[in-house]
């Protein structure tokens, strides 16, 4: 695998763990970041979606498909920007930006690795 593929591959495992956590024990994770307790089903739904996206990342990274790798850069950057907007609009607590920062850092890692090739 190339360096860019590895960055997406490893990020995929982060998404798998995050997805499982949000699906099975969301309030443990939210509590660690001092975020409000979730009582509706949507946090579990989000966990399932995050898990599935993680599967895409893990399996597609191995194919070293440059278009997919670059798409993950755009997608993860968009997540960071959306999370910042949610906080600015007072829709979400500021801690949400921490999760977006992980996406942004992963996007930057992949982008820089793609540019080196």
pLDDT tens-digit profile of 29-57? 999 888 889 999 999 999 999 999 999 99
Residue 77 has pLDDT above 80, yes or no: yes
φ/ψ of residue 94, rounded to 5? -60, -25
Which residue range forms the structural domain that includes residue 78?
A: 3-116
Interhelix angle 66-88/96-116, nearest 10 degrees: 150
- What local confidence, expressed as pLDDT, does residue 73 receive? 98
- What local confidence, expressed as pLDDT, does residue 23 receive? 97
Of 115, 103, 100, which is closest to residue 70 (Cα–Cα)? 115
Cα(107)–Cα(18) distance, rounded to whole angstroms?
A: 17
Of 68, 67, 73, 57, which is closest to residue 106 (Cα–Cα)? 73
* pLDDT, averaged across the chain: 95
Domain count, the chain: 1
Note the pTM of the prediction, 2 decimals: 0.90
Mean pLDDT along residues 49-74: 96
DSSP string, 18-82: HHHHHHH-HHHHHHHTTPPPP-STHHHHHHHHHHHHHHHHHHHHTTT-HHHHHHHHHHHHHHHHH
């Amino acid at each position: 695998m190339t360096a860019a593929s590895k960055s997406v591959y490893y990020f995929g495992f982060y998404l798998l763990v995050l997805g499982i956590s949000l699906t099975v024990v969301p309030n443990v994770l939210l509590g660690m970041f001092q975020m409000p307790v979730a009582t509706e089903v949507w946090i579990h739904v989000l966990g399932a979606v995050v898990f599935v996206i993680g599967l895409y990342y893990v399996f597609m990274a191995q194919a070293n498909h440059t278009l997919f790798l670059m798409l993950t850069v755009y997608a993860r950057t968009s997540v960071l920007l959306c999370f910042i907007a949610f906080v600015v609009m007072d829709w979400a607590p500021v801690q949400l930006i921490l999760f977006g920062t992980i996406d942004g850092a992963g996007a930057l890692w992949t982008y820089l690795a793609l540019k080196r090739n």
